[in-house]
Structure 1
């Protein structure tokens, strides 16, 4: 007699994992959370009285082949944070703040320690971004994934007042671009980075120019910009935000411009972090081929009315937020 466990799916192990998930998720719950982890659906009591004309904003994403670095290093505590922060930044571009987050975790063979670390990362980032880890799915898929491989995706739901949607604002020529620094690669460009670096640099071995090992550098947490930008989302001089992900600075910023507009970037206005210099040098990569896959040290771009530059600079200085004036709309 063949059992489901012998086929590669251990329901008892999954149930044990669920208890760990509940422990982390409950630390993110707030007064609007109506359901527990394990329900067929996550229930959230939307605070409609706090809004006059609310619009729900959603985004779904993954972390790409950054997962392969996590597997090589056997370190899984940053992946969950990266995923939540990436999703939160995407809806922030619309002007939305997160309400709740759902995850999907799939593996060839469920490793409860790996799952625990990933979910712990989700919960840390959810608390930092003031949203609820309201539910998710854990799938064991033998034969589809190798036993040590796993994949994750996440979905965030947020809200913004309709009259404060950044997507309704119009950029114009002369608007100024302000760049906020990234924390390394964030979650993009890993296929190229792996190809260039992993044949030469071993996991766990310090690289002088980085001050850490290649895996420590590549597993740095994707930064969330929610907390620093929330206080100025309703400022009329903030024309647009651009989250610099796959496609790089130029292509992502083009997504929030009006038709027939372009950006003029002063590429010397900030210094690339050493990881990008190392990738370019070791891979003998042309400048144009660095611009598209990597953020090159800029994780979020603010487009503002140039007459309000001093006000923004004053706010960022008071917030101890590093920034660079990197260009303009043309």
Structure 2
């Protein structure tokens, strides 16, 4: 074979379409533009994104969080439900940094696939942008990686991180939580992005189809409902009631049993009344179809409560009123009590 007859390869021959990647960037730019907020200096398209810290914060503390969507993505692939997993991605990080009182400033995402589908990737990133709008933070950058051979056709991975800021004196650390404080719970929008390996197993066992009815809605709509973003409501409560909000817990994997103790000092227990809120139909269905024990449900799922606030008892009604005015469904779950000196726990009575 002569030199001139030897094959000549391109990146496209290897499975990477640079033109599709550039087209995606152009699709993303107007989506990101809708999320701009003061402080953004340079965003989508550069090598690095720039953000200037707010000048009205005297002692800024940066708070960061990173997460993914987990095996909820498997259902997104199977049911072709790509439009809301980006909201899930943003929610998991901004809700995490919110618990320390941080206002989310900006978000970056990472989308990786074997072969880039412009339509699917645009749907996913549109969801990311929508999540940023709901959280009040800027989609300031990210990475799209097309890696042939790394992912099966039609599948992708999704990750991201958020950076927020809080005044040092307003940092919420839970250290002031004491016996007698009230525990408030904000309703979840569903399973959020936790427990989906168990959910998928139950779906398979039950032979459930995405179009099946669950409480008057298609099963797929209920199971794929995006994670609720609590940022605006909780920040409003913090602005109105200050230090009366003593602690916050994002109810993710581990449920109420394992997440509330993360903000309690040894010797404290969150006593929750089991009848303080009604379990949504989704969790009742999952428990019945999977014959899941009460203890396992409480450890795996949020069971209808996506965010917990521990507040001063005299201010509890006012704080609940503020949260409800922001569109949240608020439940008075119980109170903080003293227990043995080496324990920090949640008990559902």
Normalising by structure 2, report the TM-score: 0.90
Instruction: Give secondary structure in 2 for the equivalent of 1:281.
Output: helix
- Distance apart, 1:32 and its partner CA: 2.3
Superimposed CA distance per residue, residues 64-113 of structure 1 (whole angstroms, 9 cap, x where no aligned partner): 01111111111211011111122111111000001110000001111111
SS at match of 2:247: strand
- 1:179-212, CA deviations, whole angstroms, 9 ceiling, x for partnerless residues? 11000000101100110013434444232x4322
Match of 1:30 in 2: 37
For the residues of structure 2 that align with 1:17 and 1:7, how far apart are their CA atoms? Answer: 19
Q: 1:139 aligns with which of 145, 155, 159?
A: 145
TM-score (norm 1): 0.95
Relative to structure 2, which stretch is displaced further, 54-63 or 30-39? Answer: 30-39
Go from structure 1 to structure 2 and tell me whether the alpha carbon gap of 1:317 and 1:137 turns closer, same or farther (over 3 Å shift): closer
**What whole-Å deviation, never above 9, does each CA across 1:292-329 have from its counterpart, x for those lacking one?**
11000000001011122232233334445321111221
Q: Does structure 1 residue 126 correspond to structure 2 residue 132? A: yes
Q: Is the 8 A contact 1:72 1:203 kept in 2?
A: no
Deviation at 1:46?
A: 2.0
Residue 75 in structure 1 maps to residue 81 in structure 2:
yes
Worse-superposed segment, 242-251 or 255-264: 255-264
- 1:177 aligned residue: 183
- Indicate the residue corresponding to 2:319 in structure 1: 312
RMSD: 1.5
Distance 1:319 1:5 in 2: 49
Distance in 2 of aligned mates of 1:106 and 1:132: 21
In structure 2, which of residues 207, 212, 216 is the aligned counterpart of residue 206 of structure 1? 212
The CA deviation at 1:267 is 1.2
Matches within 5 A, 1:233-272: 233-234=238-239, 235-272=242-279
**CA 247–316 in structure 1, closer or farther in 2 if over 3 Å, else same:** same
Query: Match of 2:63, SS?
Result: strand
Residues 1:154 and 2:169 are matched in the alignment = no
Aligned length: 328
The answer as to whether partners of 2:232 and 2:326 remain within 8 angstroms in 1 is no
Correspondence 1:281 to 2:288? yes
The gaps in structure 2 that reach 5 residues or longer are 1-6, 338-349
